Structure 1
Amino acid sequence: MANVSSEALGTEPIGKLLVKQAVPASIGILVMSLNILVDTIFVGNWIGPIAIAAINVVLPVSFFIAALGMAIGIGGASIISRALGSNQKEKALLTFGNQISLTLLVTISMVILGLLYVDTLIPAFGGKGAIFDLAKIYYVIVLYGVPFLALCMMGNAVIRAEGKPKYAMTAMIIPSIGNLVLDYLFIYVLDWGMHGAAWATTAGYLLCFGYVFYFFLSPNSELKINFQHFKLNGSVLKEIGSLGFVTLARQAVTSITYLLMNNILFNLGGEPLVAVYAIIGRMLMFALFPVFGVTQGFLPIAGFNYGAEKYDRVKKTIITAIKYAALVATLVFVILTVFPKEIAQLFLSDRPDLDEQALAINAYVLEHIPLAMRLVFLATPIIALQLIGAAYFQAIGKAVPALILTLTRQGIFFIPLILMLPSIYGELGVWMSFSIADVLATIVTGIYLYKEVKRTLH
């Protein structure tokens, strides 16, 4: 499998290099997003719309624990990219070993706490009424597999830091395909219902872990660690933590956002409105996959060249990444605003045996989704600057501005908006909050990025 070597990150033409990094990352994110999307379609068609809402309630908890692995992975990957760029191989190895130890320690502890407080957490995240029982089934089973997912997310970031994007892509594709196949078997063939959906998801995590474990044992990986590298090192942990906290904070705020949104929408419109948000939430994950792919491809290139003090290449990487991401974001915007009802219809069952409640929810979703989708994605064409700008500070190891810019959209702008606007405009206020927050966060990020580039890259 041909890949970009870590040395090539500092020599190949930026445009060509970014495509090599971003396309596999985009494909991997696409397949993972398709997995979530099709999984939701299967659940909606074979179990019912309440089941979609139930999964949406569970996502904040499982995503937050998995995000611990992602945070440790991205924080450590930034160190590894810069260490490889400056020929500090031992620091890269020590960082990777500490990432593994820290991921296991933190995520297993969080899973234990998550299981102990299951009956408190689910209602807190909007799992009320008819949603609770299905959400609890899904939550408990999926939580068992979350440490494996965390290890996968951590390992995936490290694989990209080595300049091996195609292996990182494969690591994302394998569990997604496995999950969809098992969805069909467990839900449709064996009729396990919500249990089947949960076990299919957990099995997908295990498949991913198996592949990532194989990669690091194979000759394809440059990072061959031994037992001494697993011993926790204070200075390495501090650097991983400061950079990884940026990703963790973003995911924590995302979980808080889900909590608030599910509760606000439940109070405004009950289970049907939560189902509308569940579909929009899936599209937020799925539709922006190429933008996230460009961002993931950008990180190791910027980090390596910054470590090698090749500042002209860093500047060119920033500009090229923003251009590529803005182009694909605009295409996404056009598709979502032209075909919102057709997209929503994919998630809804047309079985003749649906009960009155399911039929009423389906009709409600189709009525409310077009305006909601258009308002939520209205500012999509400009988010490239926001994402690349925040990622740049993380890539070069500057944790404080990375944290500030990461939190501007959801923490500083979006959460206050959804707490204020619905009391004035009702449901409309919820959907308006998304684009207003995007515009404000993009302005702030643009100012930060411009000042940093002018000050340091010369």
Structure 2
Amino acid sequence: MTFTTLLRNDGRPSMVTWVLILGGVLNTLLDWLFIVVFPFGLAGAAIATMLSQAVTGLLCLQHFFGPRTRLKINLEQMKLKFDNCINIARVGLPSLLMNLYLSIVLTLHNMAFLWVGGPLHVAAYGVVSYTEAFFYLIFEGIALGTQPIYSFNAGAGRFDRVKQARNIAFGMTLLTAALGLALIYSRPEWLVYLFAGDNPNLTPVAIEGMHWYFWGLPMEGLILVGASFFQAINCSKQASMLTGAKLILIAVIIYCFAWAFGVVGVWMSLATCSTILTIWMFYAMKRVEARLH
């Protein structure tokens, strides 16, 4: 994970893409080898995963000893300095909170559905969360892909280019969300079938959940891009507030909505939380832009 980020910032995003594709294909082939050809079972799957990650890690590592890198690895450069460590922790905190958020949101939803609903609603949320993860990863790709552009131009004092890149990222996010919403609201049964098969009990519950849950999809994407933007221009306070407040706010909203509206309230919680934070995000961006100008 570290190497892929470094390679993107070192001007080799296409190399990262091909290495990751190779890792996925290799993992699949090794799964077949160690589970089907050699009956190692679950241990075989673990071995396949570790070997494929070792290959991708080594392929990325060799780049930093070659002639095309600006980030050559040497012992002097790798010495720990307290100020650098503190700065890395400060700027990296939003990423920690962003990844922590996924686990917490999943747990909170499952607990709330067991409180006001039942196991069928938990299963339906599983289908919905798989669907959400597909779009979330696209939004994350847009956010992480534009981050080096933000940081490079911010360091060069070209904030006009930073704003241009951010607006393009926002536009791509909204376009992706619009296409996703068109699919989700027009053919939700396809998505349920993709993740749960033909289940007459689960399908109507999952479809109803999708209708209440996914209206906040555009805001989810905008928040990811916004947090990445703040982080890249060294406004880690705003990025941490955006990601950290989401953890607290979603817990409060899920509890209140579950108590007041039952199952429907749980479905609506995340979209409501994301909408509130999106409004605050644009307000914070205006203040940051005014200060930088």
Q: 1:388 to 1:332 in 2, by over 3 A?
A: same
Residues 437, 312 of structure 1: CA spacing in aligned structure 2 closer, same or farther, 3 A cutoff?
same
Q: Structure 1: where are the runs of 5+ without partners?
A: 1-152, 351-361
Alignment partner of 2:215 out of 369, 378, 381: 378
Aligned residues: 293
2:259 match: 423
Q: Match for 2:175: what amino acid? A: L
Percent identical pairs in the alignment equals 29
Taking structure 1 as the reference length, what is the TM-score of the superposition?
0.58
Q: How far is 1:309 from its partner?
A: 0.8
Deviation at 1:198, TM superposition (A): 4.9
Partner of 2:164: 316
Give the one of 174, 178, 194 matched to 2:26. 178
Cα separation, 2, equivalents of 1:452 and 1:271:
45
Partner residue of 2:241 out of 390, 400, 404: 404
Deviation per residue, 1:321-351 (Å, 9 max, x gap): 222222222112211222222112122357x
**Take 2:45 and 2:205, find their aligned partners in 1: how far apart are those partners?**
27
Mapping of 1:297-376 within 5 angstroms? 297-348=145-196, 362-376=199-213
Are the counterparts in 1 of residues 63 and 69 from structure 2 also a CA contact under 8 Å? yes
Alpha-carbon displacement from aligned partner over 1:262-314 (angstroms, at most 9, x marks no partner): 33334555554333223322222212443322212221111101101112222
Q: CA deviation at 1:237?
A: 0.3
- Partner of 1:377: helix, strand, or coil? helix
Work out whether residues 94 and 236 of structure 2, in 8 Å CA contact, stay in contact via their aligned partners in 1.
yes
| 1:391 pairs with one of 223, 228, 235 | 228
Q: Which residue of 2 aligns with 1:165?
A: 13
- Aligned-pair RMSD on alpha carbons? 2.6
Q: Is 1:239 paired with 2:87?
A: yes
State whether structure 2 residue 144 is matched by structure 1 residue 296.
yes
- 1:186 touches 1:200 (CA, 8 Å); kept in 2? yes
| Separation in 2, partners of 1:173, 1:439 | 34
Quick one: which amino acid aligns to residue 445 of structure 1? M
Q: Deviations over 1:50-104 (max 9, x none)?
A: xxxxxxxxxxxxxxxxxxxxxxxxxxxxxxxxxxxxxxxxxxxxxxxxxxxxxxx
Q: 1:221 to 1:186 in 2, by over 3 A?
A: same
- Residues 1:285 and 2:285 are matched in the alignment: no
CA distance in 1, matches of 2:249, 2:143: 22
What does 1:41-440 correspond to in 2, within 5 Å? Answer: 153-184=1-32, 198-268=46-116, 271-348=119-196, 362-408=199-245, 410-440=246-276
Summarize the Cα distance change of 1:280–1:200 in structure 2 as closer, same or farther, 3 Å threshold. Answer: farther
Amino acid at match of 2:279: I
Task: Classify 1:435/1:177 alpha carbon distance in 2 versus 1 (closer, same or farther; 3 Å).
Answer: same
The unaligned stretches of length 5 or more in structure 2 are none
Contact 1:329-1:383 at 8 Å conserved across structures: no
Distance 1:433 1:270, change over 3 A: same
The one-letter code of the counterpart of 1:434 is: L
Cα distance in 2 between the residues matched to 1:303 and 1:280: 34
Q: Which has the higher contact order (CA 8 A, sep 6+)?
A: 1
Letter in 1 for 2:145: G
